[in-house]
């Protein structure tokens, strides 16, 4: 039975961490989305024009929107943490595998 050789396989935990940073930026942008949706409430230009027409419907939709936005933010935060944890776990496992290989097959 021959050895299975994997060539040209490059895994970079740092790329995962960079990607986690990009995901965190998306999460940060959700605050801007929520602020923009607040502009439609009474007292703001859109709100002054439209509140008399559909205030209760808008309030209900806004409540659901804010809840969903919060859920998305929580999921993005979890994704960021999972990517960082995966990168750390990979590095630790890779380091241990290298140590084990060096101890098992020392160079001469």
CB of 27 within 8 A of CB of 70?
Answer: no
20 in a structural domain: no
- Looking at residues 96-106, what average pLDDT do you find? 87
Write out the residue range of the structural domain in which residue 42 sits. Answer: 29-86
Domain-located, residue 23: no
Give the SS3 label for residue 77: helix
In a domain, 91, yes or no: no
In a domain, 22, yes or no: no
Residue 37 to residue 88: CA distance in whole angstroms: 38
Query: Would 13 be classed as within a structural domain?
Result: no
- Count of domains for the chain: 1
- pLDDT tens, residue by residue, 31-44: 888 887 777 665 66
Q: What is the pLDDT of residue 34?
A: 82
What is the chain's alpha carbon radius of gyration, rounded to the nearest angstrom? 25
Inside any domain, residue 63 = yes
Could you tell me how many helices (H) and strands (E) the chain has, helices first? 2, 0
Looking at the chain, how many residues does it have?
A: 108
Residue 33 lies in a domain: yes
pLDDT at 3: 56
SS3 8: coil
Residue 102 near residue 28 (C-beta atoms within 8 A): no
Check whether 92 has a pLDDT greater than 50. yes
**Span 43-68, pLDDT tens digits:** 667 667 766 667 677 788 888 988 99
**Percent of the chain residues topping a pLDDT of 70:** 81
Q: How far apart are CA 33 and CA 14, in angstroms?
A: 29
Q: Is 100 contained in some domain?
A: no
Find the mean pLDDT for residues 14-22: 96
């Amino acid at each position: 039975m021959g050895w299975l050789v994997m060539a040209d396989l490059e895994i970079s935990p740092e790329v995962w961490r960079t990607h986690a940073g990009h995901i965190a930026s998306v999460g940060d942008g959700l605050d801007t989305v929520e602020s923009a949706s607040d502009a439609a409430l009474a007292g703001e230009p859109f709100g002054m024009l439209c509140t008399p027409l559909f205030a209760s419907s808008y309030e209900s939709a806004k409540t659901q929107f804010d809840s969903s936005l919060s859920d998305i933010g929580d999921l993005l935060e979890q994704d960021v943490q999972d990517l960082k944890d995966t990168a750390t776990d990979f590095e630790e496992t890779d380091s241990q595998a290298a140590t084990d290989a060096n101890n098992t097959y020392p160079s001469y």
